[in-house]
Structure 1
Amino acid sequence: MKTYKWIKSSILFGPLGIMLGLMSILSCDRSPLDTQDTDLEHLAAVEPMTAQALSSNIRKKVMHLNICGNVCWVATHPESGGVDSRGSTSRMTKVLAAIDSYTPHIITFNEICYSQYRAIRSSLIARGYGATYASTTTAGGCDNYDASWGTGFGNAIFFKGTSPASSTYFVLPNATGAEPRHLLYTDVPLDGKTIRVCTTHLSIDAAWRLKQIEYIVDKTSAWIAQGKPVIVTGDFNALPTAPEMGLMYSHSAGTGQFQECDESHNCATPLTFCRGGEYTFNETKKLDYIFFSAVHFGGMEGDAKSRFPNPISDHNTLQGSALWQ
């Protein structure tokens, strides 16, 4: 029987200061794919927020960005702020400006340093967001934040109008010695419904990427069968038309249970929607996705905001929204 490790932590903010909650790890028998590296901190932080009900006719807005926090800002755009591995210079300001412009309910990041996550978290808490994070590995370009988290590098989810929640990740199948890949998720209540929000960053190796998507589909299918709305975001490192991506799409020869937010761009005539979308990487490829479970959501809208001339990363910021079905 497949079981998994839950990673839980909560941080409570009060008028008397900050109190770090006890972190607990509950484990049981699990498959090899659900194990984690024991030499790294893979703990998630969840902020308490006030519950907020949204009208069912209000779009559920999601923003996703592979922030390339380890190298891209210094290596690719030194003219735009220099080293910001702790997120204290202009890049985090641009991230916040993008968030303020779109006002999403959910924000997800790939390739974010723990130090960058900590830097932006306080600003987003002030904007009404909770937060969760898990390292997948360490990265030499990340600021060595502290003795516990160090140069952690991984994924983050921010969520607006939620109560304190637990955060969990699965370790995805991958080649021995390759960079670990995770599926991070947390439950976010909107309109009195609980949405399971996930983010991931998949391998560049097609064979292992197929195994990773199969694993994600296995997990998400079970959740959808239980009646839970699911959103999956991330850098899949694959084009929409790649064979393995057909496991996600519910249309266009796909066998999956999801629609992607930006499926009305770059479609061949006379199609009005397809496995397409605007470019999200180097203005040449769509690699980043926001998937909504098709049985729960409809009316998809998506937009890849160009990284030029004011870039945040080598990836574009992807914005997507949907309505309840």
Structure 2
Amino acid sequence: MTIPTQREIMRRLRIFMTMLAAFFGLLATAVPASAAPAPDGPAPAAATATYKVWHWNISGHEHGGTAGQITHTVLGSLSFRNPDFISVNEVCPQQYKAILDGLKAAGWPESQTNFARFEPMPHATNDLCTSQGGGADTDPYGVAVFSRFAPNGTDRITLPYDGVRARKLLCVSVPKPGDPRFCTTHIATNNTKGAQLAAVRTQLVDWSTDKPGNPADTVIAAGDYNTQPNDPLLDSWYAPSVTSANNPAPNTGIFRELDDQDPSCPGYGEQTTEGSLGNTCGKPAKVDSIYAAESRLISYDADSHPISQTACGGPCSNHRIVDGTLTIPVP
């Protein structure tokens, strides 16, 4: 038997290693990545967060009733609905303080010292806080937000002047799942409301849009917009998917309104006023709304609730309470 030389041994080793590499390379190309075994158990569900919103334009003292009667009605509804975010329009300073104190006493906020914001909207000639019952209130009424979660930021944005009031967009941001930013506003009734609506929409779109290094917020915007859903001024608000007989095209925006699926008036929603101004479905008008970007919504709904006609010795307000629920993805 001939003993191989060292050179022959090295040659045979190189051939063997080449064949081995080719064999494992063939295995790698023959078994696709999708054929790899899945981890044990089902894939984890996507994380979500659900929030409840409550809004009411209480009309100051315009419709009578003392501060105690009105705030008792507010606090009773809040106790029953148990929202996470609260929006109040046309609220007098003494009413704001009474609501704040009532929520504290009920143990509602997570933080007793950081959960409420008030922004006055001075009137050029008169004020609803001094017009009727409940005693004079030397400060002007305004808008307010209350958050169950302690806010870590506040935005107080002045809107284009309408010649009557210093209208505002008031928002708080909270460090909760989905990083919601909650806002309230009260838009004018005269011909400047288009400019005010555009200013609010531009800001909400900016916050709702992803930017490099700055992911989008989930913005929830409640308020009295003094504009019905089928008004052309809101075409740039509503997403195209809302388009219907009650809210016709063109709708070119990014938002859904939390009541726009209501079966009584699809695309429009339920009435939120008790006045004579009619809507497209033959009932009083809807002007109080809660908006959020369609891209941030997994599910949502809302309802409006009539107010007791005796709570304030008559109706406390010509607006109804609106409450809504939305579920959003958590990044």
Specify if TM > 0.5. Answer: yes
Partner residue of 2:164? Answer: 178
* Greater fraction of residues in strand: 1
Match of 2:320 in 1: 316
1:258 maps to 2:260 = no
Letter in 2 for 1:285: A
Deviation of 1:166 (Å)? 3.5
Equivalent position of 2:221 in the other structure: 232
Q: 2:190 matched to 1:190? A: no
Q: Which residue of 1 aligns with 2:213?
A: none
Query: Structure 1: 5+ residue runs without aligned partners?
Result: 1-54, 75-81
Alignment of 1:155-234 (within 5 A): 155-160=143-148, 162-175=149-162, 177-191=163-177, 193-205=178-190, 207-226=191-210, 227-234=216-223
Q: Which amino acid aligns with 1:216?
A: V
Corresponding position of 1:112: 91
After superposition, residues 234-249 of structure 1 pair within 5 angstroms as: 234-249=223-238
Note the 1:1-325 alignment, pairs <5 A. 59-72=50-63, 74=64, 82=65, 84=66, 87=67, 89-126=68-105, 127-129=107-109, 130-137=115-122, 139=127, 141-142=129-130, 143=135, 150-160=138-148, 162-175=149-162, 177-191=163-177, 193-205=178-190, 207-226=191-210, 227-251=216-240, 252=243, 253=249, 254-265=251-262, 273-274=266-267, 276-282=268-274, 284-309=284-309, 310=311, 311-325=315-329
Deviations 1:182-228 (A, max 9, x none): 1111112332x3211111111112x3111111111111111111411
Cα gap change, 1:266/1:239 in structure 2, threshold over 3 Å: closer, same or farther? farther
Distance 2:158 2:70 in 1: 29
CA–CA distance in 2 between the matches of 1:194 and 1:57? 12
What TM-score do the two structures reach when normalised by structure 2? 0.69
Contact 2:153 2:174 in 1 (8 A): no
Structure 1 residue 307: Cα displacement? 1.9
Cα RMSD after superposing both structures: 2.1
Letter aligned with residue 296 of structure 1: R
Match for 1:260: what amino acid? E
TM-fit CA distance, 1:266: 5.7
Shift of 1:170: 1.1
Which consecutive segments of 4 or more residues in structure 1 shift more than 4 A?
Answer: 55-58, 142-145
Helix, strand or coil: the match of 2:196? helix
Distance in 2, Cα, partners of 1:158 & 1:293: 21
Which structure is larger by alpha-carbon Rg, 1 or 2? 2
| Contact kept in structure 2, 1:95 and 1:312, CA below 8 Å | no
